């Protein structure tokens, strides 16, 4: 069993506290925000992170939570970006109410704690939206959870508390497709660790897998009449976007994920149709059989792992534009409210102009043409290889245009980011968070990702000199 493996890796795991989880419901809508406790439970495994990482000093995420001791001292905290909060910036949220199931995970406390649920206000500052109270002596705490699945150890480099623990989960795989899931996972892992900073930091990661069969092969795609009851509940068409893959079945996937050590979760969906999604510190999704699977993994993981913003702005999205432009919390996007004080100024050469010129009009003209062709393919329910060919056409044009543009290798402030062509700026002319081009993360994104790795894992031992 998996616990035997942990004991072989070192004694630190058995000294860790158990993992606790608070499940709750939240209802949002016009002038509404209602929180209701579902349950507090003890998960089967120990907490996967070291005590040094209990407090989150990164301040990323649209949401977060702080666990406080009886004296009011912060003991544990995390930032995140909830699916529910993302829904509140869609047009639907102005017209209707919707209830979401969500979770807060934390190490087992030794005495009573309060948990402040955080959301950002109009000035992008964290404020307390609700407070839960947890008493470890409460007899209603659910301690019935048990080890029902053996985690697949794809890559184990040390005890969970010393590593970043990444969990790959299967959705839309039938009971006779476990071998396919294992092969898909290994392919995705290989591609993932071919990108920096993950390539040089591979020994600081453990990668686990959980396979739970679904009744059918493939996940739901409601816009084409496909509805499948799957293990994790993933579906295309989230928030009306045909390529956006999310699950709203929080309890289902959390119960399965609890069977393995994890800090980050990537759901591999057994489909060819291009799609994925990434919620900071909640989960990421990607379609494994698409020709862009490696890109989807690394891009969506950028969202999930470090809260990186989408830097593109020419693709349609379901979100409404903000009424007032303020500085975004994401590390790789800026409103440039003060051009002399850009947030990544330490990486900008003094000779680089701010804002930074780039061939914006040529890029946008070609992007509009691509979007028209893309819409035509989807409207005709065209074969997926047509979409792959279109992406390749787009990639070749953009690589040539951007790589040969002025300041292509410089960090600056390039107009167009965060789904907006005018109001926001990105650090470099190209990046995995901007296009599907086979380019590395820009220097700002790479630095941000490295910061999360350093926070959550023990540095790899250097060989003797």
User: pTM for this structure?
Assistant: 0.94
Domains of the chain in start order, with CATH, are 2-134 (2.60.40.3250), 152-306 (3.40.390.10), 345-452 (no CATH)
Tell me what the pLDDT averaged over the chain comes to.
94
C-alpha span between 198 and 446 (Å, rounded): 9
Q: pLDDT of 173-220, one tens digit each?
A: 999 999 999 999 999 999 999 999 999 999 999 999 999 999 999 999
C-alpha span between 274 and 276 (Å, rounded): 7
| Of 28-42, 264-278, 311-325, minimum mean pLDDT range | 311-325
pLDDT, residue 461, reads 58
Where does the pLDDT of residue 269 fall: very low under 50, low under 70, confident under 90, or very high at 90 and above? very high
C-alpha span between 53 and 444 (Å, rounded): 22
Strand partners, 33: 28
C-alpha span between 276 and 285 (Å, rounded): 5
pLDDT, residue 11, reads 40
Where does the pLDDT of residue 15 fall: very low under 50, low under 70, confident under 90, or very high at 90 and above? confident
Count other Cβ atoms within 10 Å, centred on residue 267. Answer: 30
Q: Which residue reads 């623990």 in tokens?
A: 165
Q: pLDDT of 364-375, one tens digit each?
A: 999 999 999 999
Question: Sheet containing 18-29: which strands, arranged edge to edge?
Answer: 32-46, 18-29, 98-107
């Amino acid at each position: 069993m998996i616990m035997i493996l942990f004991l072989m890796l070192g004694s630190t795991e058995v000294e860790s506290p158990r993992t606790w989880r608070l499940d709750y419901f939240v209802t949002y809508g016009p002038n509404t925000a209602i929180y209701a406790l579902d349950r507090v439970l003890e998960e089967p495994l120990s907490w996967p992170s070291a005590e040094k990482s209990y407090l989150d000093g990164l301040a990323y995420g649209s949401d977060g939570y702080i666990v406080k001791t009886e004296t009011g001292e912060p003991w544990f905290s995390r930032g995140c970006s909830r699916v529910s909060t993302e829904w509140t910036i869609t047009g639907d949220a102005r017209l209707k109410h919707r209830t979401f199931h969500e979770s807060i995970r934390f190490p087992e406390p030794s005495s009573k704690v309060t948990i402040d649920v955080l959301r950002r206000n109009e000035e992008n500052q964290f404020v307390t939206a609700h407070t839960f109270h947890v008493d470890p002596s409460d007899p209603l705490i659910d301690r019935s959870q048990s080890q029902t699945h053996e985690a697949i150890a794809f890559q184990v480099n040390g005890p969970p508390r010393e590593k970043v623990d990444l969990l790959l989960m299967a959705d839309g795989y039938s009971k006779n497709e476990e071998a396919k899931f294992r092969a898909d996972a290994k392919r995705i892992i290989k591609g993932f660790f071919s990108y920096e900073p993950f390539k040089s930091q591979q020994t600081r990661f453990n990668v686990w897998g959980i396979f739970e069969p679904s009744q059918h092969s493939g996940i739901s795609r409601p816009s084409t009449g496909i509805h499948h009851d799957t293990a994790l509940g993933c579906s295309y068409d989230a928030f009306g976007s045909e390529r956006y893959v999310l699950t709203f079945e929080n309890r289902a996937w959390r119960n399965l994920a609890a069977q393995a050590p994890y800090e980050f979760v990537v759901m591999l969906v057994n489909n060819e149709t291009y799609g994925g999604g990434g919620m900071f510190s909640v989960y990421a999704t990607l379609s494994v059989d698409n020709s862009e699977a490696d890109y989807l993994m690394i891009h969506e993981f950028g969202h999930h792992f470090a809260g990186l913003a989408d830097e593109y702005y020419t693709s349609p999205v379901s979100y409404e534009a903000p009424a007032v432009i303020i500085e975004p919390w994401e590390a790789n996007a800026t409103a440039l409210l003060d051009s002399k004080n850009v947030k990544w100024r330490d990486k900008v050469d003094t000779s680089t102009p701010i804002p930074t010129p780039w061939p914006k009009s040529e890029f946008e003209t070609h992007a509009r043409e691509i979007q028209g062709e893309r819409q035509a393919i989807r409207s005709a329910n065209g074969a997926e290889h047509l979409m792959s060919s279109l992406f390749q056409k787009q990639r070749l044009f953009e690589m040539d245009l951007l790589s040969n543009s002025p300041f292509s290798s410089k960090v600056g402030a390039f107009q167009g980011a965060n789904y907006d062509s005018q109001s926001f700026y990105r650090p470099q002319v190209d990046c995995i968070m901007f296009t599907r081009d086979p380019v590395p993360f820009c220097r700002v994104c790479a630095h941000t990702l490295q910061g999360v790795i350093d926070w959550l894992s023990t540095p790899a031992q250097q060989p003797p000199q």
